Structure 1
Amino acid sequence: MPAIRIDMFEGRSPEIKRELVENITQAVVDTLKCSPEAVDIILNEVSRAHWATGGKLWSDRQG
């Protein structure tokens, strides 16, 4: 059974997350020829204060 972990910033709506997992599940089913029930997706929502790119916290970035 494939397990997919997605790390992303917190704050997206349940509707957006629902659409994301439905689309990813379908892509895995189409590619791996497995059932949707075999696909696990774990959404890990991270605060911008706990994520850095290029030595800078996302919470410190402008815009």
Structure 2
Amino acid sequence: MPIIRVEMFKGRTPQQKKAIARELIDGFIRGNGGGNPDAFDVVFVDVDKQDWAHGYEMMSEKYPDK
């Protein structure tokens, strides 16, 4: 059973996450030549921008909330 782990900034709705899960699973199935969507798990990890750095820059500084 494949597990797809997605780490991203907080703020997506449940409907957006469902759409993301569908696209990821469908892409995996296409790339693998077939499969059953029910065999997959997608785990979403919501991360605060203040808890994510790229190089020396915090994402909360690079992408401040408006």
Q: Same fold (TM over 0.5)?
A: yes
Q: Hey, what's the Cα distance between the residues in 1 that align with 2:55 and 2:25?
A: 31
Q: Hey, what's the Cα distance between the residues in 1 that align with 2:63 and 2:42?
A: 31
Alignment-derived partner of residue 3 in structure 2: 3
Alignment-derived partner of residue 31 in structure 1: 31
Equivalent residue pairs, number = 63
Change (3 A) 1:62 1:30: closer
- Tell me the secondary structure at the aligned position of residue 11 of structure 1: coil
Task: Select between 5-14 and 28-37 the one with higher mean Cα deviation.
Answer: 28-37
Q: Hey, what's the Cα distance between the residues in 2 that align with 1:6 and 1:62?
A: 19
Q: Give the aligned residue type for 1:59.
A: S
Instruction: Map 1:1-63 onto structure 2 (within 5 A).
Output: 1-32=1-32, 33-61=34-62
Q: Report how far residue 51 of structure 1 moved.
A: 0.2
Which residues of structure 1 form unaligned runs of 5+?
none
- Tell me the secondary structure at the aligned position of residue 34 of structure 1: coil
Normalized against structure 1, the TM-score is what?
0.85
Q: Report how far residue 28 of structure 1 moved.
A: 1.5
Identity %: 29
